Amino acid sequence: MRNQMFTVTVLVLTASFANAQDTVANPEFTNWSKFPKGTSVVMKISSTAAGMTSETSMTTTLLEVGADKVVVETATAIKANGMEFKTPAMKRDVAKSIPLPKGTKKEDLAGGKPPGTLEEGTETLKVGGVEVKTKWYRFKLEAGGVTTESKMWRSDDVPGMMVKMEATTTGTVASTTKMELVEFKKP
């Protein structure tokens, strides 16, 4: 489930970059590079699929800030069926620029609007007692007999940009997922 959420997040933020020749600024790099080394965020992810529920705590820490990339490390703890599983921390390089998706114009990616956006607005949410101004998007994606309807709240003032997301998937795989930023710290 963690891998599915990571995949959805990456797709929403950057779309599919296969077979691209031109590059664009990576919004994830731009965001993380504004924060000092040691900054961290904790996301809580709750999901239900096939009658099974799970809860994941995902901590992402900024390890390095360079001119062409930042390095983040993510550690997770998953609770499901009364058991807890911890995964080894995984480092990931976030490049300054990313390939432009084939058939996409640079203007299409301006503003960070996800593909399939139906509605958008602004809202202030509380995170750990701090008010955060967010931009939200309600969007719908369909692929392979699976439909996912989501609402996502993002803020440039938060490391990683993700503040909250709620998603419902129907079709061959039915699930609900809620992701929420519960803490962020700067050194």
Of 11-25, 105-119, 137-151, highest mean pLDDT:
137-151
- What is the distance between the alpha carbons of residues 54 and 47, in angstroms, rounded to a whole number? 5
pTM: 0.81
pLDDT of res. 114:
83
pLDDT of res. 67:
96
Name the phi and psi angles at 30, rounded to 5: -55, -45
Half-sphere exposure of 160 (CA within 13 A, CB side): 28
Cβ atoms of residues 186 and 61 within 8 Å: no
Cβ atoms of residues 134 and 127 within 8 Å: no
Mean pLDDT, rounded, of the chain: 87
Interval 80-97 mean pLDDT:
94
Q: Is the pLDDT of residue 14 over 90?
A: no
Give the tens place of pLDDT for each residue, 90-141: 999 999 998 887 777 777 666 677 878 899 999 999 988 899 999 999 999 9
pLDDT of res. 128:
83
**In percent, how much of the chain has pLDDT > 70?**
86
pLDDT higher at 90 or 14: 90
User: Domains plus CATH for the chain?
Assistant: 2-185 (2.40.360)
Please report which confidence band the pLDDT of residue 7 belongs to, taking 50, 70 and 90 as the band edges: very low
